[in-house]
Structure 1
Amino acid sequence: MSHVNVTINGRQYRMACEEGQETRLLRLAESLEARIVSLRGKFGEIGDARLTVMAALTVCDELQDAGNRIHGLEEELMALHDVRAVAADRAKATQAAVANALNAAADRIEKTTQVLNRTVGNGVAIG
C-alpha cells in the first residue's frame, strides 16, 4: 500500500492507494481542486465545506450522466448485435438460395445439352 499527499481546497491530506495508483490519485485530487477553484471563482467565498460539497455534486452529476450514456450505448450495442445476427441469417439464406438457383440452372443447362446432343447433334457433342 502506498501513500500520497494531496492538496484539496488548500488542505493537505495523506491518502492511501494501491501500488502503481499514485499518479491517478494525484490527478483525481487535482481535478477536484480545479473544480473547487472554478466554483470559488463563480460563487466567491461561500465556505470550504459548501464548495467541497458542490464540487462533489458536480462530479456525481457527471458520473451519473456518464453511467446513463454507457447504459444507453450498451443497449444500442445489444440491438446492433441482434441486427447483425438477423443480417447474418438473411445472408446465409440468400447465399443458399443463390446456390440452389445456380445448381438448378446448371441442371437445366445440362439437360438441355443432353437433349440437343440427341436430337440436333447426330452424335456430335455440344458443349
Structure 2
Amino acid sequence: MATVTVEINGRPYAVGCADGQEERVRILGKQFDTSVRQVAGDVGHVGDIRLFLMAALMLADELHEARLALQNGTPAAAPAPAAAPGGDGVAEALNAVAARIEKIAQGL
C-alpha cells in the first residue's frame, strides 16, 4: 500500500492508496482542494470539517446530476454556486445545496 500526501485548503493530509494509484489520488486531491477553496471563498473559513462537508455535498450533488443526465440522455446542469454574495454565507450555501437536493428529489 502506498501513501500520498495531498494538500487540502493549505494543509497536508496523508492518504493511503493501492500501489500504482498515487497519481490518481493526487489528481483527485487537487480537484477536491479546488472545491474546498471555492466553498471557503464563498462562505469564509468555517472550520475544515464544515468546509469539507459542504464541498463533499456539492460534489455529490454534481455526481448525482451527472448520473441522472446519463440515465436520461440529457446534458447535466451546471453546478450551482456555493453561496450568493452577501448575507450569511454558511446559511446561504447550505440553502443552495438543500434547494438542489430538493430539485433532484422532485425529479425522481
Structure 1 runs (4+) greater than 4 angstroms displaced = none
- Aligned-pair CA distance for 1:9: 2.5
* Deviation by residue 1:61-116 (Cα, 9 ceiling, x = unmatched): 0110111112223xxxxxxxxxxxxxxxxxxxxxxxxxxxxxxxxxxxxxxxxxxx
Name the one with the larger helix percent: 1
Where in structure 2 are there 5+ consecutive unaligned residues?
A: 74-108
Where in structure 1 are there 5+ consecutive unaligned residues?
A: 74-127
- Aligned-pair CA distance for 1:46: 2.1
Amino acid at match of 2:12: Q
Aligned to 2:58: 58
- Aligned-pair CA distance for 1:25: 0.5
Q: RMSD of the TM alignment (CA)?
A: 1.4
Contact 1:9 1:52 in 2 (8 A): no
* Deviation by residue 1:24-76 (Cα, 9 ceiling, x = unmatched): 11011111111111111111122222111110001100110111112223xxx
| Aligned positions of 1:56-95 closer than 5 A | 56-73=56-73
Q: Give the aligned length.
A: 73
Percent identity over the alignment is 38
Aligned to 1:33: 33
